């Protein structure tokens, strides 16, 4: 009987049409390499470490959580950067871990700043590739089978005789690619456009070897973003207006909003809306707060921390889920003097904790 129960559980997982979506962070530029491999090596300085953690729906007992940690380095001699990314997610009794390497190459409009170049527009284009391996597994310690039960409940110390899923714990390859275009038409105005495709090879996430395992192929996640930023150090405030679109199989969602930065203390506050294209599924308002902990005294390094909280307003009401929370952290460090004068170094930075930066 216990074997039949396990088969039923696995069948529900792998034979239905896959509707799963990758986790979407409310502060993706506190984890830029996760958002788009083209952001590899594009920190404020040449060495960057970032980490982000998201706890989804606090009141749900399954403890859904997501995290990503990355380190990337810009190499001027190669006009690009290399990076490493690690991801982990827990969704009830399902756990998923990924390890990736990425490379990005940058083409620049010139070596001079816009002012030195007769106020001509300054732009760069960065293209990135990512390759990694992912493991998806069942945490059997969170499952109870029929042969572990009696009329009095769970039998203490019992071990099930149920067969385990043959593909649980196996590693499979995963590919991604992305592109960023940055356009500065003067020292104060900036437009950033980006796009990426994750799971290009559509890896098979099935936990059992069945004829229907093709239905467990992970759909490609398409992401597109646009962001306008106005920055003037001589003024008290700067601001950004941004939007981002996600598509994965039949799931379509977007984020739009704005963020305001107090220039003297480098503190940013943002308000964003996230929802589905048809406004019928999960939607939420998000408030973000980030601060440069190094302040203006951080010569050659920046340390930025951010926090966000989502308040659902759609089908999953706040009174039921109590929302979702995030904590993020980015450390940017200069390891050589010439980086500050490298006008062709891409800077898709973490100055703001907004959804698009």
Of 25-29, 108-112, 191-195, 346-350, the poorest mean pLDDT is in: 108-112
Give me the CATH number covering residue 174: 2.40.160.40
Chain centroid to CA 30? 8
Residue 233 in any domain: the answer is: yes
Residue 310 in any domain: the answer is: yes
Q: Quote the percentage of the chain above a pLDDT of 70.
A: 77
Interval 130-146: pLDDT, tens: 999 999 988 877 777 77
**Residues 277, 247: Cα–Cα separation, whole Å:** 10
H helical segments located in the chain: 2-14, 32-35, 318-321
Mean pLDDT of the chain: 79
Residue 266 in any domain: the answer is: yes
Give the number of domains in the chain: 1
Q: Where does the pLDDT of residue 83 fall: very low under 50, low under 70, confident under 90, or very high at 90 and above?
A: very high
Residue 103 in any domain: the answer is: yes
Enumerate the β-bridge partners of residue 73. Answer: 47, 82
pLDDT at 1: 39
This prediction's pTM: 0.83
Interval 276-307: pLDDT, tens: 765 455 678 888 888 888 665 456 788 889 99
Q: What is the mean pLDDT of residues 148-174?
A: 77
Query: Are the beta carbons of 225 and 181 closer than 8 angstroms?
Result: no
Q: What is the mean pLDDT of residues 338-357?
A: 52
Residue 125 in any domain: the answer is: yes
Helix (H, G, I), strand (E, B) or coil at 76: helix
Residue-wise over 229-265: b if at least 16 C-beta within 10 A, else e?
A: bebeeeeeebbbebbbbbbbeebebbbbbebebeeee
pLDDT at 349: 61
Query: Are the beta carbons of 41 and 80 closer than 8 angstroms?
Result: yes
Residue 28 in any domain: the answer is: no
Interval 144-153: pLDDT, tens: 777 667 677 7
Residue 199 in any domain: the answer is: yes
Q: Could you tell me which of 73, 35, 74 has the C-alpha nearest to residue 180?
A: 35
**Residues 279, 338: Cα–Cα separation, whole Å:** 49
Which value, in Å, is the radius of gyration of the alpha carbons in the chain? 22
pLDDT at 355: 31
Q: What is the mean pLDDT of residues 295-324?
A: 77
Tell the residue number behind the tokens 């059992």, with chain if given: 208
Pairing of strands 284-292, 301-312: antiparallel
At 59, list the tokens. 């009141």
- Dihedral over alpha carbons 244, 51, 221, 14 (to 10 degrees): -140
Interval 88-115: pLDDT, tens: 999 888 899 999 999 999 988 754 454 4
Residue 14 in any domain: the answer is: no
Distances (CA, A) of 131 to 8, 49, 178, 246: 34, 19, 12, 21
**Residues 236, 265: Cα–Cα separation, whole Å:** 10
Residue range of the domain that includes 243 = 34-333
Tell the residue number behind the tokens 């069948």, with chain if given: 11
Enumerate the β-bridge partners of residue 54. Answer: 66, 326
pLDDT at 314: 60
């Amino acid at each position: 009987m216990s074997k039949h129960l396990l088969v039923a559980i696995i069948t529900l997982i792998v034979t239905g049409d896959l509707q799963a979506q990758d986790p979407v962070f409310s502060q993706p530029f506190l984890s830029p390499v996760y958002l788009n491999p083209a952001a590899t090596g594009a920190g404020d300085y040449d060495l960057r470490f970032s980490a982000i953690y998201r706890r989804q729906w606090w009141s749900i007992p399954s403890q859904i959580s997501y995290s990503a940690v990355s380190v990337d380095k810009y190499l001027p001699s190669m006009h690009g950067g290399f990076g490493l990314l690690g991801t982990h997610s827990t969704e009830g009794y399902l756990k998923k871990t990924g390890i990736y390497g990425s490379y990005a190459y940058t083409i620049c409009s010139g070596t001079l700043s816009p002012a030195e170049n007769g106020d001509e527009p300054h732009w760069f284009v960065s293209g990135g590739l990512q390759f990694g391996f992912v493991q998806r597994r069942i945490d059997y310690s969170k499952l109870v089978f029929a042969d572990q039960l009696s009329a009095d409940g769970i039998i203490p110390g019992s071990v099930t005789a149920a067969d385990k899923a043959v593909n649980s714990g196996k590693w499979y390859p995963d590919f991604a690619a992305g592109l960023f275009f940055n356009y500065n038409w003067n020292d104060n105005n900036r437009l950033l456009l980006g796009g990426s495709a994750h799971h290009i090879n559509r890896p098979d996430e099935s936990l059992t070897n069945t004829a229907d395992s093709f239905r467990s192929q992970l759909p490609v996640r398409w992401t597109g973003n646009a962001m306008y930023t106005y920055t003037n150090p001589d003024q008290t405030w700067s601001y950004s207006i941004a939007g981002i679109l996600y598509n994965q199989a039949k799931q379509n969602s977007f984020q739009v909003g704005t963020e305001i930065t107090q220039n003297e203390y480098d503190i940013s506050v943002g308000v964003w809306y996230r929802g589905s294209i048809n406004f019928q599924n999960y939607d939420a308002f998000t408030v973000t707060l980030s601060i440069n902990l190094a302040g203006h005294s951080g010569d050659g390094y920046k340390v930025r921390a951010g926090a966000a909280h989502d308040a659902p307003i759609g089908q999953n009401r706040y009174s039921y889920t109590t929302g979702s929370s995030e904590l993020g952290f980015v450390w940017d460090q200069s390891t050589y003097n010439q980086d500050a004068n490298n006008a062709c170094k891409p800077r898709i930075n973490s100055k703001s904790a907004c959804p698009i930066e």
